[in-house]
Structure 1
Amino acid sequence: MSINDLGNEHSTPKNTSVSAENGAEYYVHNNSIEMTAREFLFDTRRFKPYISCKLPHEEIEKLFLSVKSVYEESLKNKIEEDKLAVKRKKALEAVANTVLEEGITVEALDKYIKTHKSKATGARYPKYEYNVSGVRKTWNGVGRMPSALKTEIDKGKDLEDFLII
């Protein structure tokens, strides 16, 4: 049933839930929207009598186990997020200490970051360097090997000879 079906007294049974276009579920009482499903769940004055009167014990137990499972998963995710936040904070402190000890300026750090794109942006750093007719070329090691580099390897050089240090 959709929220658009409200208004017709015969179309909406009493004490049902309907979906709004934004995906929220609303609890309907006497053909009027009372509250969202979230509000209903946290309103023990309405939730408790509904559950205790309309659901058999076995279904209440299934509901409890389901909510417990969601809670445990949420708690596990929160603990992991907290651990990650602590790890990031320690890493940031270590970087900050190194920057201060080495006397690196903000401008130098900014310049370095701008010239060395992060892997998160999808940029791939050149891994190999070779010359074609005196012109320096690079290859990141992904995809087909450039023919000029392949020719040099066929002549007896190792790929490691072209690694950028």
Structure 2
Amino acid sequence: MLGIFVLLLLPVVVVQVADAACANSCSGHGRCGASNQCTCDADWALAPDCSLRKCPTGVAWTDKAKTANAAHAVAECSNRGVCDYSKGECTCFNGYTGAACQRLRCPSDCSGHGLCYSSATLASQYGPSSLAGSGPTYTNWEKDSMTSCMCDMGYNGPDCSQCKLPMMETW
């Protein structure tokens, strides 16, 4: 009877030894492989023990072109922020926003007198031939990254901070 009990415990001991061979048991965020290396879960990586979170990625603001038509590869925090690996979050540089720092922040957040839109939205909603939101489709790499203010009636300027006075008719 004791022999059967020992045989039943043997696989459990082997599994624990295999897990222990990987660094920090993969921090509970991965699986230990046959070569004693962790295969990290989707949101975890960047360390041999899967202890650091990945940060969001976006189209890089600056990049070296690979070919004539291939530039702006995907980069962590879009190369416009610093990753906090403990949280998996980007801290964007001044002037950039978004989970992956992938968008320019509108100047002064449009001063409370307008809305911030991407180039793609401005082209389709307010560009030439934009009746009922059917304007041209803007497809360049920065279509969702570059932003501008659409000022409320009575305001203008790049940040909608200038008050437009109504035009007076002259006699």
Q: TM-score, normalised by structure 1?
A: 0.22
Higher strand share: 2
Q: TM-score, normalised by structure 2?
A: 0.21
Larger radius of gyration: 1
